[in-house]
Structure 1
Amino acid sequence: MQKTVTLLLLPAALLTGLTAQAQTRQVSGVVVNGADKTPLPGVSVVVKGTTTGVATDPNGQFSLTLPAEGRPVLVFSFVGFASQEVTVGSGGTVGPVTLQEATTALNDVVVVGYGTQRKRDLTGSVGSVSAEQVAEVPIARADQILQGRVSGVQVTQTNSEPGGNVSVRIRGTNSINSGNEPLFVVDGFPGAGDLNSINPADIESIEVLKDASSTAIYGSRGANGVVLITTKKGKAGKNSVNAEVYSGVQIIRKQYELMNAQEYATYLNEVRAQTNATTPPLYTQDQINQMGEGTDWQDAILRRARISNYQVGFNGGTEETRYNLSFNYFDQEGIILNSGFQRGTVRLNLNKKISRKLSLDFSSQVAGTFEKRAFVNSQGGSFGGVLLDALRFSPINPVYDANGIYTFSNTPVTDVDDVGNPVAYAEKVKDRRSTARGLLNVAGNYELVKGLTLRVTGGLDYNNQQQELYRPSDIFLGRNTGGSAFRGSVSRYSWVNENTLTYDRQLSPNHALNVVGGFSAQRFYGVDFNARTNNFFTNDLGTDNLALGASPLPPTSGRYFNSLASYFGRVNYRLFEKYLFTVTMRADGSSRFGPNNKWGYFPSAAVAYRLIDEKFMQRFTALSDLKLRLSYGVTGNQEIANYQSLARYDVAAYASGSGRLVGLASQNIENPDLRWESTASGNVGLDLALFQNRIVFTADYYQKQTNDLLLFVNTPPTTGYPNVLVNVGKVGNKGLELALSTTNVELDKFSWTSNLNFSLNRNKVLSLGEGETERLVGSSSTSLFPGGTGFTSILRVGQPIGSFYGYVFDGIYQTQEEINASGIRTPVVRPGDPRYLDLNGDGSITGADRTIIGQAQPDYIFGATNNFKYGGLTLSVFVQGVQGSDVLNLNRYELESGITSTNKLKSVVNRWNGPGTSNTIPRANSVLRRSTGIVSDVVEDGSFVRLKTVTLSYALPKLGIVKSSSVYVTALNLVTWTKYSGYDPEVNSFGNENLSLNTDYNAFPTTRSFTAGVRVGF
């Protein structure tokens, strides 16, 4: 009976199986990376609306059983890539499905202080630079890539010497005596400001936090903005090797036109004739005729300099362990002889998922840099040196004398200023600086409960710098010291510990909450040692044996530190995906400030409204995004020297019959009430996108006011001290920032995209304290201004920082009758002397006739990038501009001066030599050009438009194990359109000094460079 039943049921069972098989089908496919078409393992493939899904295998392949009927939708998702939906047709194969790395979508995650956020959820003003943008330009420092690419950020190459610094200003200048540079945070380590040792190729992204909503989480260090640098991490399921090599040449962009030997000899004869008409000329006309052009000292010290870079990186891992390991060597010669910069770096980043709740992040770098410098003042101070001496040295003299020895100096010609041979200086002076740096950051993340994560971070930054300088006795520079040697070392290191709790939950479909709270402690240390000695009987050993110097000077050493303790918190609340709220508070305690004000408190609040998500906006089909932002907050600035609030003592020594007596002397007045500068800032922003994000526009308007400036004020002579650091004064900034990104053309083989940004900032001194409305400031060289009293700028209430202050040039006195008619009684002038405006009409040219004659702060800055792609060919063109900024050209001030007898600019050939001959260049030996201070005709328009970067690259076809490869050529600083007469309008010889902006005196020239490179990926 049982056997009979089984036989009867068998056909039914077979029919049922065949029916079930007919109702399903197998669908398979492959998923690849859109960048290099390589398979992507581990991609999640899920049937939309169900939990049915699989992951791709190591070859990027997958297979799913789906219903036979219908058109199901598969959702492909993978970490770091934009998700994609694919509708399955009637066939059994899907793909290949190409996933693109997520880089521009509103759901992309950007780094903010102590966390990340979706771009769509930002309430503050944040600018970003991607790894692709960093890779476009062969730069030496990471902060150089910000130039012209982020609205509201002005980057100035203050020193173009290899390894030289740049100045970064975010939304203007806030402070007078304190720092104005932003806080740099590298992989979460705050205060990692020395970017010379950071390899730009290691950078994944740079975020610039600009308004108080985004910077207040950094409290006392956020007033000048914050730059977050994130280095590359490993990518799961994608083991790769990438290498890059480029090499090129640098040439000077422009040279000064100077007198040749014949013109200079004629000039010297004229100076002598005006000084003493009875003295015979220095050179006869026959001698002058035989001189020819003479020596071009700029050509003698300048060269075509090479630049090269070698990079290799290893990246990959699994979902549990990811790694990024890179090696880099960068070598840049300077265009001045015997100058250059070299850097070697090794970086290792690891991310380890130990369990479902615990993970570790490890970020580390070891770097070494080496600088050869040919830039130090030939007189031992801040100015002069190889470049300026090349401009001043006599073209009559050769580089070498008849015996093949360097020409020593301009002498023995008595009428010529004593200047040393710049080629001898460049080739024989040994000026070296080497730096070793280690940067380490380790973080542990533990999910306590769902949505609540504890993160504990410990970091260490160690920086040791060694300097050696030897000036031999057989050149002009060492003649007075018998050879001089200097060795010094500076060790700076800091550690940081940060502990944060982050609660991040979608509470319901309409409510989302992100809360961050934490405690941070950071301590900075410094140790330095210097030794110097003179009078060497041999130059053979240089700085290798200081004991050979017969005249040692007292060595110096020091140790110093400061500490910062902080509590901080931030709440982000999202309502209905369209109402966004942010509240932040940080409390900082600093050892730098007085015992009565150790702690400062820095709150901020922001709100954003995503109008695009309102139902009534749906009829505006052209709109892709529309968001309004509003923020206000207070941030601080603590960038002053250590121990400023305390009574300090320094060594006081003098010689006596019994030897050197050493004691201590008080240096300052203590101020127990010293506290932070505080900057209150408001921001209104608009984010707009059109036509499926083909046009993306951002606008921000801000106002800032910095109160309680850390300002040195003069004290009565009875105190025995010149000044004291107190909290007085106010500075205001307000500005507008615009950014536009467009996809102009997008075809199968050709595309054209553009990125433009525009910024303007208006700076104003609002107060200098009670009873003070202006103050003369600015650095100057004693070689230019008699007595070293030539202040170049003024701080005046109602005017911006960087206001040049001097006399108004009004041409040249042509005749004695003109002088008599002018009514000027003092100083005594002669025909051919410069004429200055008597602004107060008292008949004398005095300090009371000075006025503001220019502004260093620009009217506006801009940048524009256009990218064109055709097949594998890509052309990128970047233009940068600064408008309305003046530059004080002190090189010209000296090289057109009639009182010195060094070489002059070619323009002096056409100097005044009788009525009507010149109304711009005074007569030879006119003393007024230098005896009065700066004059308006050497404050020049520093506006410029620069074709900053042009890169042409070609992506080569895949070949064997080579997954990707490309070749490229890049031109940097290709063309500069400017009226400025100096080497380059982008200059500041005083580095980051706040009160001597845009001053050009012996600055290392900017170069034009051409490089060619190749990138290969395996």
Structure 2
Amino acid sequence: MMKFLRNGIMLCAFFTLFVSVLKAQEAVKIPIKAVVRASNGDPIKGATISVEGSDVLTISNQSGEFSLSVPANSAFTVSATGYQNSLVIATPDLNQITLKNEDRIVNVGFKKVEESSLPAGVSSVNLAKLFEKNFTTYGLDGMEAFAPGFNGNNLWGMNSSLILIDGVPRDVVSITPNEIEEITFLKSASAVALYGSRGAKGVILITTKRGDQSKQKINVRSNIGLNVPKRFPQYLGSSEYMTLYNEALVNDGLAATYSPETIYNHSGVNPYRYPSVDYYSSEYLKNSYARYDGVAEISGGNDRARYYTNLGFSSNGSLLNFGEAMENNTTDRFNIRGNVDMQLTKALKARVDASAVFSNGGGVNTNYWGSAATLRPYLFTPLIPISMIEASDDVSKAMIKNATIIDGKYILGGTQLDQTNPFAAIYAGGNNRFVQREFQFTTGIDADLNGLLKGLTFNTSMGVDYLNRYNQGYRNGYATYQPNWTTYSGSTLIGSLTRWGEDTKTGVQNIADSYYRQTISLSGQLNYNTTVSNNHHISAILLAAAYRQSQSEIYQPTTNSNLGLQLNYDFSKKYFLELTGAVVRSPKMPPGNRIAFSPAATIGWKLKEESFLKKVSFIDDLTLTASAGILNTDLDFDEYFAYESIYTATGGTWFGWNDGVGTQSTDSRRGTNMDLTFAQRKEISIGIKGAMFKNVLDFSANVFRNNITGIIGQINVLYPNYFTTGFPASSFVPYSNY
């Protein structure tokens, strides 16, 4: 009994001493005041400092500095977006923490790779990071500076780049820069081979923002600005125009059209009788207009679900500043986007994205800017003062009794040749409103198939989009008046008026220019990744993808379907090999030629990993690549059944007979060609990319030979003239590959 009692007393004493030591250690805290910096020495603001085993949490300020008190030798974690997390031990002399740059994961289509391992002919731009310190209203604005080979919508000098937003063919204008996480430009043949025929001239991948595993974050941003034209065209007055026009005629050996008296009269003697209209004057245009927008982003989540929501609104004004344009001169846009990523089980993930865009724009029923560029300044007077009508002209006064009166003192001017004109249309022609609604839905499932084969995964994605737009408004008829001038005792008055047209207001709202577009996209792929003996990295992708886009008033939808296989191998992340093959299909080709095979290959050498460069401190990356491919495509060719001949009586030549009855001939429009096939993009490219001085300087260059052969066309001049006839207008030349 005493033995157990003695042991119990000793055990109690031990625990008492242990707890006392713990409390003593807990009580001894040291102050930490340090700065968080990147590898290049720049301070990192917004870095999160979380103390292990405690709820203490602080964030570095604008200068990267933070301070807190923690137990000596305790551990805490420093993390920041774009940098690798760092576990730090608290010591009294701790004054600086350096975070290494995180190798960003980039979407390159049907797979994701580290930014430092981007394939040949691929550029990526982290737009979300750029947008933190910049502003733009268009997603691809200024991308030429960050993506070599990109110019407008062209990649490596080719038109018709395929633009995909979250894997679905969509318009860039359907998304704002606030919603974009990154943009990837696939330029080389090997980079776009898996996208089939429609991607043969380059692919632009836009990836939207998603939620992450963090506490809920709410970001609000608002922008307001004035759009000020740098300058308007220096518009010629009537006298200057007439003088220069006469000079041009004389230079051509022709007689002058305008007399000196006419030129003098249009120099400002009477602007109503001798007009000199400046379409760019402050009388019609403002010197600026406002644009403002606002966006709210809400994101967060945990290990089971992550979410992101974007609410945005923008409004644009107009320079027009008279008539109906004063009340119908803004374009408003509201958008909402949301997505959820869910970890359903250990092996199954799901994602759901939805977006809606509502756009409305007010306008007038004329093209003012087109008229300003083409109409001469002396043709007509926009507004005619009622006060200049001769007092005894009762006929004219009765004529304008029910006319459209502007500002209580003007009627609309015009001539027999200019009965309708942009000024009269804006003052009295009514207004219109552009309405557009766009809905986008994307969903996908990711499955981990390690249970079947280690390294095997499956992904599938489906997108459904619908867009509808139309114009609604009031289209009023209006009358314009041509004055007939007289002069009495040195006073110029309007002796009579000639009216052109009628003032009509039905009050009926018209719906016109209706358009719709529907897109359905579907893809599925098997992915395999494995490593052998720590040095041999092998991966493969087997996929099937298709989309269909139908539009109003177009019978044949745009379709694209293809099967693809890609094999990748790298040795110690030093030597790379990529082999890609795609089977493409096009309904535009003859039945026997609708399927084609597109091969591509890439090799790469990461020189930085070689022993002779690995110890060179100022070189961070240096990679050489070479690629080649032959891609089959039906781009730039919109005809269906072009391989068939056409005989038609529509537009045929009329023949008359003795009985006086005429008939039309049946003519050939083209011949048959069942050997018609795809055009081909044939390419060889060599590239180099690198980074130096702790990634402060990066560079890339590509030298390539790009040749598109087998372009489809119906070219008569390549055949002897007996293949075509001038009467009747017939042709037996088929569509062929040139």
TM-score bracket relative to the smaller structure: 0.7 to 0.9
Q: Once the two structures are superposed, what CA deviation does each residue of 1:444-473 show, in whole Å capped at 9, x if it has no partner? A: 111111421111211111112224587644
C-alpha distance in structure 2 between counterparts of 1:263 and 1:632, whole Å: 60
1:330–1:503 Cα change, 3 Å: same
The letter of the residue matching 2:384 is D
2:336 to 343, 346, 364: 346
C-alpha distance in structure 2 between counterparts of 1:419 and 1:144, whole Å: 42
1:421 lines up with 2:406 in the alignment: no
The letter of the residue matching 1:501 is L
The letter of the residue matching 2:213 is A
Instruction: Tell me what 1:687 maps to.
Output: 689
SS across alignment from 2:190: helix
Instruction: Tell me what 1:170 maps to.
Output: 155
Instruction: Tell me what 2:233 maps to.
Output: 256
1:620 to 613, 616, 619: 616
1:645 lines up with 2:670 in the alignment: no
1:590 lines up with 2:615 in the alignment: no
1:626–1:138 Cα change, 3 Å: closer
TM-score (norm 2): 0.74
SS across alignment from 2:269: helix
Instruction: Tell me what 2:708 maps to.
Output: 706
1:632 lines up with 2:637 in the alignment: no
Q: Are 2:633 and 2:680, in contact at CA under 8 Å, matched by a contact in 1?
A: yes
1:669–1:270 Cα change, 3 Å: same
C-alpha distance in structure 2 between counterparts of 1:278 and 1:84, whole Å: 80
1:75–1:399 Cα change, 3 Å: same
Q: Once the two structures are superposed, what CA deviation does each residue of 1:849-907 show, in whole Å capped at 9, x if it has no partner? A: xxxxxxxxxxxxxxxxxxxxxxxxxxxxxxxxxxxxxxxxxxxxxxxxxxxxxxxxxxx
1:212–1:481 Cα change, 3 Å: farther
The letter of the residue matching 2:467 is N
Q: Are 2:296 and 2:310, in contact at CA under 8 Å, matched by a contact in 1?
A: yes
Instruction: Tell me what 1:544 maps to.
Output: none
1:223–1:94 Cα change, 3 Å: same
The letter of the residue matching 2:468 is N
C-alpha distance in structure 1 between counterparts of 2:96 and 2:732, whole Å: 74
Instruction: Tell me what 2:307 maps to.
Output: 323
- 1:726 Cα deviation (Å)? 3.5
1:88–1:141 Cα change, 3 Å: closer
The letter of the residue matching 2:316 is Q
1:576–1:400 Cα change, 3 Å: same
The letter of the residue matching 1:172 is G
1:277–1:444 Cα change, 3 Å: closer
Instruction: Tell me what 1:223 maps to.
Output: 200
1:479–1:225 Cα change, 3 Å: farther
The letter of the residue matching 2:456 is L
1:14–1:171 Cα change, 3 Å: same
Q: Are 2:304 and 2:343, in contact at CA under 8 Å, matched by a contact in 1?
A: yes
- 1:281 Cα deviation (Å)? 6.4
- 1:317 Cα deviation (Å)? 1.4
Structure 1: runs of 5+ lacking an equivalent: 46-53, 62-67, 156-167, 174-179, 378-384, 529-557, 655-663, 730-1018
- 1:333 Cα deviation (Å)? 2.5
Q: Are 2:47 and 2:79, in contact at CA under 8 Å, matched by a contact in 1?
A: no
- 1:323 Cα deviation (Å)? 0.8
1:466 lines up with 2:470 in the alignment: yes
1:310 to 294, 300, 303: 294
The letter of the residue matching 2:285 is L
1:286–1:605 Cα change, 3 Å: closer
Q: Once the two structures are superposed, what CA deviation does each residue of 1:886-936 show, in whole Å capped at 9, x if it has no partner? A: xxxxxxxxxxxxxxxxxxxxxxxxxxxxxxxxxxxxxxxxxxxxxxxxxxx
Q: Are 2:238 and 2:263, in contact at CA under 8 Å, matched by a contact in 1?
A: no
1:518–1:40 Cα change, 3 Å: farther
1:617–1:593 Cα change, 3 Å: same
C-alpha distance in structure 2 between counterparts of 1:284 and 1:232, whole Å: 63
Instruction: Tell me what 1:493 maps to.
Output: 518
1:717 lines up with 2:724 in the alignment: yes
Q: Once the two structures are superposed, what CA deviation does each residue of 1:310-329 show, in whole Å capped at 9, x if it has no partner? A: 21121111121111111112
1:350–1:724 Cα change, 3 Å: farther
What does 1:979-990 align with in structure 2 at a 5 Å threshold?
A: none
Q: Are 2:671 and 2:735, in contact at CA under 8 Å, matched by a contact in 1?
A: no
SS across alignment from 2:557: strand
Instruction: Tell me what 1:393 maps to.
Output: 376
- 1:119 Cα deviation (Å)? 1.8
- 1:269 Cα deviation (Å)? 8.1
1:336–1:586 Cα change, 3 Å: farther
2:345 to 350, 355, 359: 355
C-alpha distance in structure 1 between counterparts of 2:166 and 2:611, whole Å: 40
Instruction: Tell me what 1:141 maps to.
Output: 138
- 1:183 Cα deviation (Å)? 0.7
Instruction: Tell me what 1:534 maps to.
Output: none
1:565 to 558, 561, 565: 561
C-alpha distance in structure 2 between counterparts of 1:393 and 1:626, whole Å: 61
- 1:709 Cα deviation (Å)? 1.3
Q: Are 2:365 and 2:475, in contact at CA under 8 Å, matched by a contact in 1?
A: no
- 1:219 Cα deviation (Å)? 2.3
1:574–1:276 Cα change, 3 Å: closer
Q: Once the two structures are superposed, what CA deviation does each residue of 1:393-452 show, in whole Å capped at 9, x if it has no partner? A: 32585431113456444x46xxxx859533234453645433221111100111111421
C-alpha distance in structure 2 between counterparts of 1:77 and 1:272, whole Å: 75
Higher mean displacement: 516-525 or 419-428: 419-428
Q: Are 2:184 and 2:206, in contact at CA under 8 Å, matched by a contact in 1?
A: yes
The letter of the residue matching 1:440 is F
The letter of the residue matching 1:185 is L
1:22–1:213 Cα change, 3 Å: farther
C-alpha distance in structure 1 between counterparts of 2:182 and 2:685, whole Å: 24
What does 1:148-297 align with in structure 2 at a 5 Å threshold?
A: 148-155=145-152, 168-173=153-158, 180-189=159-168, 191-192=169-170, 194-264=171-241, 283=262, 285=264, 288=267, 290-291=269-270, 294-297=276-279
The letter of the residue matching 2:156 is R
Q: Are 2:542 and 2:564, in contact at CA under 8 Å, matched by a contact in 1?
A: yes
C-alpha distance in structure 2 between counterparts of 1:285 and 1:619, whole Å: 82
Q: Are 2:412 and 2:480, in contact at CA under 8 Å, matched by a contact in 1?
A: no
C-alpha distance in structure 2 between counterparts of 1:305 and 1:650, whole Å: 55
Q: Once the two structures are superposed, what CA deviation does each residue of 1:330-355 show, in whole Å capped at 9, x if it has no partner? A: 22224356455332211011111111
C-alpha distance in structure 2 between counterparts of 1:254 and 1:375, whole Å: 25
C-alpha distance in structure 1 between counterparts of 2:688 and 2:343, whole Å: 39
- 1:511 Cα deviation (Å)? 2.1
C-alpha distance in structure 2 between counterparts of 1:649 and 1:430, whole Å: 46
SS across alignment from 1:596: helix
Structure 2: runs of 5+ lacking an equivalent: 37-42, 60-70, 387-405, 482-498, 653-665, 718-722
The structure whose RCO (Cα within 8 Å, separation 6+) is larger is 1
Q: Are 2:478 and 2:501, in contact at CA under 8 Å, matched by a contact in 1?
A: no
- 1:186 Cα deviation (Å)? 0.6
1:608–1:270 Cα change, 3 Å: closer
C-alpha distance in structure 2 between counterparts of 1:701 and 1:517, whole Å: 30
1:211–1:344 Cα change, 3 Å: same
- 1:367 Cα deviation (Å)? 1.0
SS across alignment from 2:345: coil
Q: Which one has a bigger Cα radius of gyration?
A: 2
1:355–1:596 Cα change, 3 Å: same
The letter of the residue matching 1:122 is L
C-alpha distance in structure 2 between counterparts of 1:461 and 1:11, whole Å: 75
SS across alignment from 2:695: coil
SS across alignment from 1:560: coil
The letter of the residue matching 2:376 is F
Instruction: Tell me what 1:436 maps to.
Output: 437
Q: Are 1:272 and 1:281, in contact at CA under 8 Å, matched by a contact in 2?
A: no
- 1:508 Cα deviation (Å)? 3.7
Q: Are 1:250 and 1:335, in contact at CA under 8 Å, matched by a contact in 2?
A: no
C-alpha distance in structure 2 between counterparts of 1:342 and 1:393, whole Å: 34
